[in-house]
Amino acid sequence: MTELIERLKAARGPNRILDKELAKHFDTYRTYGANGTVHGYPAYTSSIDRARMLIPAGHEFSIGDDLENNKGWAKIGDDVWDECMGDVVVAAATIELAICIAVLELELQEND
C-alpha cells in the first residue's frame, strides 16, 4: 500500500492506471456485460464524488484548494472540525488525489 501512496503523491493529475490499482485495493473493480469482457472501475483520481466513495463510513472529511501552492488538500478523521489526534491531512496535486492518499494513510494508521 505504501508504494501506491507514493505513486499517488507523485501523480500530477488524473491517472487511469492508478484508478485501476485503487479499485483493486478497495475491491471495487467490476466486470460488466454478459460476456464478462468489459471491465470497469471508478475514476477516483479525476472525480471528487468518486474519490469520496473511498472514505470509510463514520469518518468526516474536509477538502479544499491551496491556491497559493496550486495543490488540493483533504482532511479525514473522526471529527475534522476538532483538532483531535488521528486526523489525516494530505496535500497533493489535486483534491481527488489528496482524498485517495488520505484514505490510504488513514487505513495504514487504523491498522497499526
Q: pLDDT, tens digit, for every residue of 23-65?
A: 999 988 776 556 655 567 889 999 999 999 999 998 889 999 9
Q: What is the percent of the chain with per-residue pLDDT over 70, rounded to a whole number?
A: 85
Judge whether residue 84 has pLDDT over 90.
Answer: no
50: left (phi over 0), alpha (psi -120 to 50) or beta: alpha
Cell of 29: 473493480
The 3-state DSSP class for residue 100 equals: helix
For the domain 2-111, what is the CATH code?
3.30.2120.10
The radius of gyration computed from the CA coordinates of the chain, to the nearest angstrom, equals 14
pTM reported for the whole predicted model:
0.87
Close Cβ partners of 10 (under 8 Å, ≥ 6 residues apart)? none
Q: Where are the domains of the chain?
A: 2-111
CB hemisphere CA count around 66 (13 angstroms): 14
